[in-house]
Structure 1
Amino acid sequence: MDAFFGTASQRGPRWRTRRGQDAMIRIDVELDEAAFGTTKDIQVDTAVVCTTCSGEGAAPGTTAQTCDMCRGRGEVSQVTRSFLGQVMTSRPCPQCQGFGTVVPTPCPECAGDGRIRSRRTLTVKIPAGVDNGTRIQLAGEGEVGPGGGPAGDLYVEIHELPHSTFQRRGDDLHCTVTIPMTAAALGTKVPLETLDGMEEVDIRPGTQSGQSIPLHGRGITHLRGGGRGDLIVHVEVQTPSKLDPEQERLLRELSKLRERNGLRGSSSPDSKGCSRG
């Protein structure tokens, strides 16, 4: 409404220095790195303060000067007549782009912007328990603003690589061990390489295909709070596709014996393995 009464805007000049934009980079981490945490060196390409002009934008030995068009106000006014009377409008000064100052001799390194592109190496601490899509904020490590203004933040997004043995579900890990029918019937111990080293999984006699055995505290570290998830071992009982005559004879004898005892079942030779579950 001030414009209708002949008064100009009092916004004043813009700051030549402004906060820079945030930046983001994506990094790959292995499952064990996500489970226990690690540190990684990363390279980022961002805008940094020009070392030649220290962010001022002016060539060495020169300084910014007050704009002679707007006299440092950062805006120019224009008066027009209408049926309502005199109307005064204001707009950013076209000569200084609203800054109120001009740089007669721009810095040859940054062309007056006050910043240049540079590749830097940063060390990032990856906390234990991160997952796909987790973002780590590094304050002030993003893009430096125009005129050497304060830098934005850098966000490091985690991409967890697939593991050859384990499948992650939340903070729990899952895998599958394959055992023969004889081992399922009689019980056995299966060696398994976990994130904590080699362990033995106790397969109890009579274990059925599809049963799972939890190894408590052998999963992923909880990102918030203490403790760890579990490692869930899924058991797959393998039925032999081919039998030699002796194996077939023994199985038939076992089958007859179980039928006499009112039971049904079968058995088979040894074999082991571990895979993703």
Structure 2
Amino acid sequence: MTEDFYDILGVSRDASDDEIESAYREAVREYHPDVSDDPDAEEKFKKAKKAKEVLTDDEKRQMYDQMGHEQFVEAEKRGATDDGGRGGRGGDPFGGAAGGGGPFGNMQDIFDQFFGGSGGGGGNRRGQDLKTQLTIDLEAAYHGTEKELTVTRPEACGECDGRGHPPGTDSRTCPDCNGSGEQTRVQETAFGRMQQRTACQRCEGQGTIYDERCSTCRGDGIVRNQTTLQVEIPAGIKTGQTLRMRGEGAPGESGRNGDLLVEIKIEDHPDFDREGANLQTRKAISFPQAVFGDTVELETFDGTVEFEVPEGTQSGETFRLNGKGMPRPQRRGSGDLLVKVQVVTPDSLNEEQREALEAFAEAGGEDIEVEQGFFDRLRNSF
């Protein structure tokens, strides 16, 4: 069974660039020859590096998805072999201009050779990707959620059904392509002589010229409409990560739609700060709790949790609650919750409390004039 680049990194076929980069960093930590004891570490490291190189390059990834793993790798090998056999190609095994940057230095030319133009022959072009931003709160990022997102995007014109002309409009055969919608040219490439078919520019690949254009879309076949989409947000997502919604971008020319890239922004939270997969917060405890120790309750995104404050705890000490932080996407477990305790001095004392503190001070041998600011001095000491 062929192990493709997605399998090597352990990501889905619709993984975002951020997810691929994250998976690659994990592979580096696990398989780098300088740190791994795995006998196959070097080979696994090379495979991960190659997978990341291809899948984070939009053109290479699109070609990889179209060709499949074996044909893609074979094309790369043949290009390198042809370069060594012919020579004089300026380092470009696919017949591109000198200095093209290796086997895929002129990726658009190769894509054109295989699929006839920028992403498809005869107007069969993939739609453009669109980008937008979505803001969520930290709790939504903790649990994962589904959010509504309203975007303005190009869509097929409903008036003319994307044709660009009203129904019943007089038409005639395009004289440039004789109605085929395509023009063919022969080109010498690294793979031999290949025929390249491209969309006819005059009729834009339709084979027919119309006498009237649609008044709504002005002949483009495309209008801009607002659309509300449901976005699935995985638990543990970070600010700056991008979700790819397949097929929700601009429409293609008889090809599949582009994608919608949703960049996530997470709002600051009043009680929790995020540091990677860890969360940080503060918890106020009383002076007696700090002195004698206590079981303290804390409200978290998963409800109330308890942790033990030992006797003699000082203000500012931090306690780590394992596994109570942010979930780690594509990995098991969660980060930790770091709780910094603050010993709080009450603003006022009743008579009984005051007498008890006076006795405490005397028992400790402190020479303090209670009537002249004992409480303020005590509070300042903490």
When normalised by structure 1's length, the TM-score is 0.70
Flag the 1:130–1:26 CA change in 2: closer, same or farther, 3 A: same
1:4 alignment counterpart: none
What is the deviation of 1:193?
0.7
1:44 to 137, 141, 151: 151
Q: Is this contact kept in 2: 1:59–1:107, CA < 8 A?
A: yes
Q: Name which of 153, 158, 161 aligns with 2:267.
A: 161
- Distance (Å, rounded) in 1 between the aligned partners of 2:347 and 2:147: 49
Does the alignment pair 1:182 with 2:288? yes
AA aligned opposite 1:141:
E
Which secondary structure state, in structure 1, belongs to the residue aligned with residue 126 of structure 2?
coil
In 1, Cα distance between the equivalents of 2:227 and 2:159?
18
In structure 2, distance between residues paired with 1:191 and 1:251: 28
Displacement of 1:103 in angstroms is 3.3
1:239 CA drift (Å):
5.9
Q: 1:31 maps to what in 2?
A: 138
- For structure 2, the 5+ residue unaligned runs are 1-115, 184-199, 367-376
Partner of 1:223: 329
Task: State whether structure 2 residue 322 is matched by structure 1 residue 213.
Answer: no
Q: Does 1:246 align with 2:348?
A: no
CA distance, structure 2, for counterparts of residue 255 and residue 51 of structure 1: 86
Percent identity (aligned):
38
Larger RCO, structures 1/2 (Cα 8 Å, 6+ apart): 1
- Name the structure 1 match of 2:258: 152
Conservation of the 8 A alpha-carbon contact between 2:155 and 2:223: yes
Structure 1 CA distance, aligned partners of 2:330 and 2:363?
Answer: 54
Letter in 2 for 1:211: E
Query: Does the alignment pair 1:109 with 2:231?
Result: no
- 8 Å contact kept, 1:50–1:109: yes
Give yes or no for the alignment of 1:235 onto 2:341: yes
Preserved CA contact (<8 Å) 2:125 2:255: yes
Which runs of 5 or more structure 1 residues have no equivalent in the other structure? 1-10, 76-92, 258-266, 270-277
Q: Which residue of 2 aligns with 1:255?
A: 364
Return the alpha-carbon distance in structure 2 between the equivalents of residues 166 and 70 of structure 1. 65
Partner of 2:50: none
Question: What displacement does 1:107 show?
Answer: 1.8
| Partner-residue secondary structure (3-state), 1:253 | helix
Q: 1:15 to 1:109 in 2, by over 3 A?
A: farther
Alignment of 1:118-157 (within 5 A): 118-145=225-252, 150-157=256-263
1:186–1:105 distance in 2 versus 1, CA, 3 Å: same
Count of equivalent residues: 231
SS in structure 2 of the partner of residue 256 of structure 1? coil
Question: Residue type matched to 1:46 in 2?
Answer: R
Q: Deviations over 1:16-53 (max 9, x none)?
A: 56433211221122222111111112111111112333
Which of these two proteins has the greater Rg computed from alpha carbons? 1
